[in-house]
Structure 1
């Protein structure tokens, strides 16, 4: 079983879930498309979704490249921390955007860890 692929799929599904939640917030707070701002709680849901997209751009390639060089379970474990971080970010941002830092750090640190693992793996493999 390729745990890294499962984590990658879960990350994309999480992104779509946050998008669905934006749709619910849009309906609940009367923010009609194509508007991207309105009620404060809609704005927060929208920003979580957009920030998740911004994070996925770095996370997914780093996850997949790192998995070429390091044990699948280790890389997937780092990816799970990212997924948990995104949920924490979502909960904290909806409650109070100023308190989002723990979730953000649990997203960014795994991504940079994976980027470093990918780079070291590629350099060591190339040198060998």
Structure 2
């Protein structure tokens, strides 16, 4: 059973939902009517925070689950939490200023890369050593 990874998956989806709520609030605050996605730089940064999170989820989620299955549920969950923390730092930093997104981006990208590399390495190991 991969209960820890399942819980982190739910938290990652909640993080994305949170980013969607932030975009809805920013639309009201800055008067950006759907379907527009530009017109105010403060809104655009919030919107890009959400979109970048969406862009990373297809990288993160398979790597998270493959790592959990082939390496460790607990370690995958811990790295998944690091990814979520990085995403939150990214989104909150980016909402303030574009140059404040770097730390969060580096944290989440590192977690995703470790998950992917660990899963890939474990799968290759098991292919060579059945």
TM superposition score normalised by structure 2: 0.94
Matches within 5 A, 1:99-114: 99-114=100-115
Question: Which 4+ runs in 1 deviate beyond 3 A?
Answer: none
**Which has the larger displacement, 102-111 or 90-99?**
90-99
5+ long unaligned stretches in structure 1: none
Looking at structure 2, the residues matched to 16 and 63 of structure 1 have their Cα atoms a distance apart, in angstroms, of: 19
Does 2:119 match 1:118? Answer: yes
5+ long unaligned stretches in structure 2: none
Alignment correspondent of 2:21: 20
Q: CA deviation at 1:69?
A: 1.1
Matches within 5 A, 1:39-78: 39-78=40-79
TM superposition score normalised by structure 1: 0.96
Alignment correspondent of 2:92: 91
What is the count of residue pairs matched by the alignment?
128
Q: CA deviation at 1:116?
A: 0.5
Looking at structure 1, the residues matched to 18 and 105 of structure 2 have their Cα atoms a distance apart, in angstroms, of: 18
TM-superposition CA deviations, 1:40-96 (whole Å, max 9, x none): 211111000000001111000000111111121111101110000011111111111
Looking at structure 2, the residues matched to 99 and 19 of structure 1 have their Cα atoms a distance apart, in angstroms, of: 20
